[in-house]
Structure 1
Amino acid sequence: MKGKLIYFGFGLSAVLLWLVLRKIDLARTIQAVLAINGRYFTISLCFYLLTIYFRSVRWRYLLEADPPIPVPALFSATSIGLMANNVLPVRMGDIVRSYLIGRQAKVSGVTAFATLAVERIVDALCLLSILGFYLRAIHGQQMQQVGLRMAALGAAFVLLLASGIGVLYLASIRHRWVENLINRMLETRFPGASHKVLGLFSKAVAGFSALRDWRQLLRVLFFTLCLWFAGAASYFYLMRSFAFPLGFGSALLVLVFVTFGVAFPSAPGFAGTFHAFCILGLSVVGIQNPSLAASYAFTLHGTEWLSATALGFYFLWREGLSLKMLRQRDLAPTPVPASSS
């Protein structure tokens, strides 16, 4: 199954890259890239690096470790995870960052990985909220062209998110009831597996602890907003560097498109999916020329890919690890007592 997913991802990336490249004037695209404003480009890069910091701080509140995990350790694990997503298939970076923090702190790798489920849902809620505000802000023919398609897509995601939130909240609040249900289901058919599954479940539930404390949840939501507005600022200042006549709201919408696109299976680094959905988002906000849109998409992707990959390899070297170890997932977390996970 994993092999089929890898092949599908590479195939989808190849098709989307072909569709992008066949429509552009390569000389005009390169010319647009070389003419960007360096000052705005630097500001855009700084805001992108700031998103990694906000992602690390938010993860600290999601993990709720005792004692709290230092932000530099989380920043290191997050950077290595982003690098792994850029160079390894099937989004292995999510697994890598969970196991890395499991090695460094008294947190189960399963618990760390479970926090990523909460992370994804909070991110999706934030982006859907951004999309909703954008749709309320546009009117007339533009609303007819954009709003109906976005509203239908948003409604489908809301249903999926509502289901996911319900399951996680139930597991977090009524975990004893869920444990008893799992035990009854397994003890008759798979009695030997019951204890192991319940152990994994209890560690996973610890990753949902932020859902039980409204103060902690508010902190998570605050840094989620910081994360995505910093991301939108990065997109916006890169638009300024290309002299695109677009506002901050347009940058937010393009960010929503790109985030949706990179959720699909792809080659490492989201090749193809990132570019195609970025260009699609730009066409919605008014950049209809495919060559200009492609120049922005390739610059944005290249900047994020190079900076995250370089940062990740630096922290990988500092941790005394190698890419070969990441491929083999030789990253088992240090065993911790059940009570601390």
Structure 2
Amino acid sequence: MSPTQGSGGRTLIKALLAALGLVLSVVLLSTAFFKWNLRGAGALLQPRFPLDEFVRALPGHLVWLLPFLLLQASVIPLRAVQWQSTLRRPVPLKERYHLVAIGAFVHNALPGKLGDVMRSFLLSRTQRIPFLRCLGSVGVCKLMEFAALMLLVSASLLGPFGGTLARFQGELKVAVYLCIGLVALVVLLAHWSAPLAHAMHRRHKLPRLESFLHHLSEGLGTARSFVGMARVFVFSVGPVLASALAYGMALHGIGISGGLFAGAVVLGAISLGQSLPGVPAGMGLYYFVTSWAARSLGATPEDAAAFSTLTHLGTVISQVAVGAWSVHVRKIRIRDLRKGGSLAREAAHHVAHDAVEPAPP
């Protein structure tokens, strides 16, 4: 097979995967507004409510949208503060803020959900830190946010809305076990990556894997001590609490009694549904998860659809607006952030360089 034929085959596969992702996303998104009738009797799609009345009722929900926007925007500076707790050397807060904001812009405005990868690359570029170390520091931040979220969800079960939230106990147990497993894996990698890398260096075997393990050990360095992990956990509570409160206010706004205590549960469902980067059906998953959770908590189908629509728009608008300002300040062209753009190509080259760079003895 010629290189041209191989390239054409890869392009076709990518196009088919993109089309499949788009179809899946549309199907999942439609569940917020329609019921799928697969039994053969009647229309395939049955509206959950009159769509014209839904549109007319949307302005009535704007009373909770402004505080939702502000709380979601506040997640960016809170994550900038949190990030320093996993970095081995000081990085100016202004620098961290702009990189987190640019990552939020990439995550919400461009396909692929690769904002955390991009902010890791930009930090490695501006601070001369190996990319894998930057990515490891971000990974520890995300893991501790997940742990803080699980604790907050568990605490929600003890609140006045605990009886209703109890129906999510099965999913919560799975999430807690997943969280414990991930924490254990990260701690093991943090402790054993460096010894394995040094053993490979002495035997002159697998230099690429040796380099990867060495940089991974440096990036996960915070996880080698209980005090370090506890410190990151404390700084992770802020962004999680702000986002959970935003969703709680939205649930309260659509008339769910005690909805302030249920925001963490919805946020947990969203986090589990969109945890993998590069998933092409991310938006469809968001509408599916949020509308299902709102209906399960007692919202009408119409209010649940409004909850999904406005929280999605609110999150995108707030974080894209804040991120776009940082993109402008740093004089980055948007086309360079897209897949295939100059920054994206440089990031791929940087990753490849880290993978083959000899590890220090």
TM-score (norm 2): 0.78
**SS across alignment from 1:263:** coil
**1:128 is aligned to 2:153:** no
**1:131-150 to 2 correspondence within 5 Å?**
131-137=153-159, 142=163, 147=166, 150=168
Task: Determine the structure 2 residue equivalent to 1:324.
Answer: 335
After superposition, the C-alpha distances for 1:199-224 in whole angstroms (9 at most, x for unaligned) are 22211211112112444323311121
Q: Report if aligned partners of 1:258, 1:281 keep a CA contact under 8 Å in 2.
A: no
The counterpart of 1:295, out of the listed 293, 299, 306, is 306
- Matches of 2:20 and 2:200 in 1, distance apart? 34
Mapped to 1, the partners of 2:169 and 2:201 lie a distance apart of 41
Corresponding pairs, count: 325
Question: Kindly tell me: are residues 158 and 183 of structure 1, through their superposed partners in 2, closer, same or farther at Cα, counting changes over 3 Å?
Answer: farther
Report deviation, 1:37.
4.9
Q: Do structure 1's residue 225 and structure 2's residue 244 form an aligned pair?
A: no
Following the alignment from structure 2 to structure 1, what is the Cα–Cα distance between the partners of residues 161 and 242?
A: 26
- Aligned partners of 2:191 and 2:106: how far apart in 1? 34
Same amino acid, percent of matched pairs: 18
Taking a change above 3 Å as real, the CA distance of residues 45 and 57 of structure 1, as seen in their structure-2 partners, is same
Q: Tell me the distance in 2 between the aligned counterparts of 1:310 and 1:95.
A: 20
Q: Which amino acid aligns with 2:213?
A: F
Cα deviation 1:128-156 (Å, max 9, x = unaligned) = 2223223344799x46xx536x3332333
**Shift of residue 241 of structure 1?**
4.4
- Would you say the 8 A contact 1:13–1:273 is kept in 2? yes
Residue 28 in structure 1 maps to residue 46 in structure 2: no
Greater relative contact order structure (CA < 8 Å, 6+ sep): 1
Is 1:152 aligned to 2:170, yes or no? yes
Give the secondary structure class of the aligned counterpart of 1:79.
helix
> Partners in 2 of 1:81 and 1:258 — Cα distance?
19
1:95 aligns with 2:117: yes
Secondary structure of the residue aligned to 2:61 is coil
1:315 is the counterpart of 2:340: no
Matched with 1:82 is: 104
Deviation track 1:20-61 (CA, whole Å, cap 9, x = no partner) reads 2323432232233211354x4322222111111111111111
Quick check: 277-286 or 253-262, which moved more? 253-262
Q: Which amino acid aligns with 2:176?
A: V
Of residues 165, 171, 192, the one that matches 2:189 is: 171
What is the CA-CA distance between 1:17 and the residue it aligns to?
1.3
Aligned counterpart, 2:266: 254
1:14 maps onto 2:26 in alignment = yes
Q: For 1:254-293, list aligned pairs within 5 A.
A: 254-263=266-275, 266-267=279-280, 270-287=282-299, 289-293=300-304
Secondary structure of the 1:174 match is helix
Structure 2 letter corresponding to 1:322: R
Secondary structure of residue in 1 paired with 2:129: coil
Aligned-partner residue type, residue 325 of structure 2:
Y
Q: CA deviation at 1:305?
A: 0.6
The answer as to whether partners of 1:37 and 1:242 remain within 8 angstroms in 2 is no
**CA drift at 1:240:** 4.5
RMSD: 3.2
Match of 2:316, SS state, is helix
Larger mean CA deviation between 316-325 and 1-10 belongs to 1-10
- How far apart are the structure 2 equivalents of 1:319 and 1:338? 32
Alpha-carbon distance, 1:301 to partner? 0.6
In the alignment, structure 1 residue 200 sits paired with structure 2 residue 212: yes
Q: 211, 217, 236: which is aligned to 2:248?
A: 236
Q: Which one-letter code corresponds to 2:65 in the other structure? A: F
Question: How far did residue 106 of structure 1 move?
Answer: 3.0
Matched, 1:304 2:315: yes
